[in-house]
Structure 1
């Protein structure tokens, strides 16, 4: 499901992104509460910026990046509207950073990388997925951690879904997979997901929210 910046721009410009739920993912909130987020933090595929906003408010040194200029603009407006104007965002191509070391070097390195629903979009594109994982390795300090929250194939639902095997196989040499467990992901029903939600008979709340199976992985950079 790898898409161009123009596609991602369109979902933010039209407000049809099913992952824009107006708050951070509960799984990421729990990570912070468990003390799993430390040091300098990167939020790749920041989207609406909810996790960068959350962590900035809590005092972390965090940067949210996204391929889409419209996503970055959305995140900046979101941060201002939530009273966190200090939240930092920039346009950045993480896949390109895996192919061109000098691009990754522009950001420096991070102690913690929090990937919420980015990794799984490369599920059917092995070459691009490898580039992205290579970028994560370049951007993560040795001994640092990458946390991946990704939609899971254990049950039907909307969006690009991946298996635990794909996560294990993607993070091989240069990484140690410390934990991989089932979790949940919250989304919303928009025109991009309405057909899949109806097809699979997913339960939604009154405000159009839907809860679906996910993986949560903790991976240490060697």
Structure 2
């Protein structure tokens, strides 16, 4: 079962989130440079808000959502500190949006959805994973694209790692999986994952370079 908002609040309140690295993921930055971020953008599971902040600064219309109120407050402070106070964040449960038509309609539909390290937390939770994919379908306009950056099980790692087959199986009817390829994900060696980083590629400043998948999925 996936963690409740209270758990995520504690992680942000204590600054032990291993995914908070102070900058956007290089894989997501590369997507923007390659022209894959278009139109209205949803940063789903925005966390510290790095992708919302970076894309807003580049002129995109972006909304970042997260289940955790502490994450949203962290992201707002982060945006202000980086001189991007226009970055938009709100508290929302990404799973429930698939069944709550009114809440999904309030957010509207998006041309591009960026998922950086959210999908993989549902790896052992098929019901919530299915609900999450339904939410993505409700929030993505027909012809729009979802980018998923998820930790890979091809190497030892510090978080919930998944297989490429799980991604393929999850995006079936209503989706076209256009690309699924190996990538990398940067994390932080915090106390929360101290037992899992031994033997991994950890830099002198505590940044972990982990195997990941990068998928591009188009809504039919």
Q: Distance in 1 between matches of 2:154 and 2:99?
A: 32
Q: Distance in 2 between matches of 1:70 and 1:11?
A: 9
Question: Which residue in 2 is equivalent to 1:24?
Answer: 24
Question: Which residue in 1 is equivalent to 2:207?
Answer: 209
Please give the secondary structure, in 1, of the residue aligned with 2:145. Answer: strand
TM-aligned CA deviation for residue 203 of structure 1: 2.3
Question: Which residue in 1 is equivalent to 2:33?
Answer: 33
Q: Distance in 2 between matches of 1:152 and 1:146?
A: 18
1:108 counterpart = 2:108: yes
Question: Which residue in 2 is equivalent to 1:127?
Answer: 127
Question: Which residue in 1 is equivalent to 2:157?
Answer: 157
TM-aligned CA deviation for residue 25 of structure 1: 0.1
Please give the secondary structure, in 2, of the residue aligned with 1:192. Answer: helix
Matches of residues 177-192 of structure 1 in structure 2 within 5 Å?
177-192=177-192
TM-aligned CA deviation for residue 56 of structure 1: 0.2
Moved over 2 A (4+): none
TM (norm. structure 1) is 0.98
Please give the secondary structure, in 2, of the residue aligned with 1:113. Answer: strand
Matches of residues 1-222 of structure 1 in structure 2 within 5 Å?
2-198=2-198, 201-222=199-220
Contiguous gaps of at least 5 residues in structure 1: none
Q: Distance in 2 between matches of 1:134 and 1:159?
A: 24
Q: Distance in 2 between matches of 1:83 and 1:103?
A: 30
How many residue pairs match? The answer is 220
**RMSD of aligned C-alpha atoms?**
0.6
Please give the secondary structure, in 2, of the residue aligned with 1:93. Answer: coil
Please give the secondary structure, in 1, of the residue aligned with 2:187. Answer: strand
